[in-house]
Structure 1
Amino acid sequence: MKKLFLSLCLFLSIGASMAADPVTPPGARATAALIAPDALVRDVSSDVLAIVRDDHAIRAGDTGRVVSLVEEKVLPHFNFRRMTMLAVGKDWRQATPEQQKELVDVFRTLLVRTYSNALTQYRNQVIEYKPARFGAADTTVRVQTEVRQAGAQPINIDYVLEKTDRGWKVFDVVVAGVSLVTNYRGTFAQEIRAGGIDGLIRSLHAKTQELSGPAERS
C-alpha cells in the first residue's frame, strides 16, 4: 500500500504534460463544469506544479501550506463519497448516516495528508498523457498516463472519472494496474471485522494523526 500511495502522490504532484492536441486552447481556461476529463487532469497538475516550483515554503517542507494548496486546487475534482463507498464495499450499508459522513471526512483527510506530504518531495518528474478515448455520451472515463523519472522505470497511473452535474470528478486511481479503492477495500474489511465501523473510523483517525505535523497534532 505504501508503494501504491507514493506512486499516486507522485502522479498528483507533477504536471509537465507532453500530450498532443490539448482540449483547452492556449490562453483559455474552461470552467470545471465544461472542461473535458483529460484536459482537467492536465490543467490541475500543471497548476499545482507551477505553485510548488515557485513556492519556497512548500519546497522546504511546509506541509500546512501544501495542505491548503491541495484543498484549493485538487479536492474539488474528487468524489470522496464515492471513493469511500467503493473502498468500504458491502460494509458501507451497515454504517449509519453519521458514520458514513465521518468515514468520508476522515478518509478524505487521510488522502490529503498523504498527498501533501509527498508533494513537498517534488523533483523533476514528467507525465506523458496517452491519447484519450471517449465519446460525448460517455459518463465514465479513464485518463491514462505514464510517469517518467530519470533512473527509474516508468509508472502507469490512470485516473477514473465520472461525469456529474458539477463537472468531471475522480473516483479512483489505478497505479501499475492496482486500483486505489480496491487496494483499500481489503484493509478496511479487516478493520471492520476487528472493530466494526467505529473501529475503522478510529484506525483512519490514527493514521491521519501519524501523517500530521507536530503543529497540527498539538
Structure 2
Amino acid sequence: AFKADPANLRAFVKSQLIDVMDRPYSAQLVLGRHARTASPQQILDFADALTDSLLRRYADALLDIDPGTEVTIASSTPLRNGQMMRVASRIVRQAGEPVQVDYMFRKKGDAWLVFDVIVEGISYVQTYRNQFDEQLRTQSLDQVIAGLRSGAISVKD
C-alpha cells in the first residue's frame, strides 16, 4: 500500500518519529549559532520543515529494506552525568556489509528521545549544521524554512 502512496508512507513514518525524537533540540543543534537569534516558533517551524524534507528524501528507502535485515544493539554508554546516552547498533543485511548506526538520546522528563543518528561515524546533526550554515549566511531563517517547505531547498547526503 505504501509503494503506491509515498505521501501516506511519509505520514506514517513521521507519526512514528514524533514520540521518539527530540526534533526541537535536534533543530537547535542543526541551526548551531543561528539558533541563538531564532524564536522558539522559528525553531519549531525549522524542525517541522527539516523533518518533512528528510522524509521526502529518505522514507522511500524504507520500502527497499531487506526482510532478512538484523539489527543488534552493541552497547549503550551514559554521557553527561546520565542525561544523555549513546546506543551503538549494527545493521546487518543479507547482501552487504554491516553498517554501524549509533543513536544519541537525551533525557527529557521521564522519556529518552533521539536527537542525533550517527551512521558509520557521520552525524546527521553535524552534516546538516554544515549544510544549513551555508544557507543561513545568505538567507534568513524564515527564507530557509520556506525553501525547505516548498522543496526549493532540500537536504543533501
TM-score past 0.5 threshold = yes
Give the conservation status (yes or no) of the 8 Å contact 1:84–1:104: yes
Distance 1:98 1:165, change over 3 A: closer
TM-score by length of 2: 0.83
Q: CA deviation at 1:208?
A: 8.0
Q: What residue identity is the alignment partner of 1:66?
A: L
In the alignment, is residue 140 of structure 1 matched against residue 89 of structure 2? Answer: no
Superimposed CA distance per residue, residues 61-110 of structure 1 (whole angstroms, 9 cap, x where no aligned partner): 43233233223323210000000000010011122344223212211222
Superimposed CA distance per residue, residues 121-158 of structure 1 (whole angstroms, 9 cap, x where no aligned partner): 222322122033449x6121011011112332211110
Greater helix fraction, Structure 1 or Structure 2: 1
Secondary structure at the residue paired with 1:130? strand
In the alignment, is residue 188 of structure 1 matched against residue 129 of structure 2? Answer: no
Secondary structure at the residue paired with 1:71? helix
In the alignment, is residue 126 of structure 1 matched against residue 70 of structure 2? Answer: yes
Secondary structure at the residue paired with 2:97? coil
How far apart, CA to CA, are the structure 2 residues paired with 1:101 and 1:200? 13
Give the conservation status (yes or no) of the 8 Å contact 2:148–2:154: no
Q: CA deviation at 1:167?
A: 0.8
Q: What residue identity is the alignment partner of 2:131?
A: T
RMSD: 2.5
Higher relative contact order (CA 8 A, sep 6+): 1
Structure 1 alignment gaps of length 5 or more: 1-56, 212-218
Q: Flag the structure with larger Rg.
A: 1
Moved beyond 6 Å, runs of 4+: 208-211
Q: CA deviation at 1:190?
A: 0.6
Name the % identity.
Answer: 24
Q: Give the one of 84, 98, 103 matched to 2:27.
A: 84
TM-score by length of 1: 0.62
- In structure 2, the partner of 1:149 is 93
Distance 1:94 1:210, change over 3 A: closer
Secondary structure at the residue paired with 1:103? helix
**Mean Cα deviation higher: 87-96 or 75-84:** 87-96
Distance 1:113 1:75, change over 3 A: farther
Structure 2 alignment gaps of length 5 or more: none
Greater strand fraction, Structure 1 or Structure 2: 2
- In structure 2, the partner of 1:199 is 143
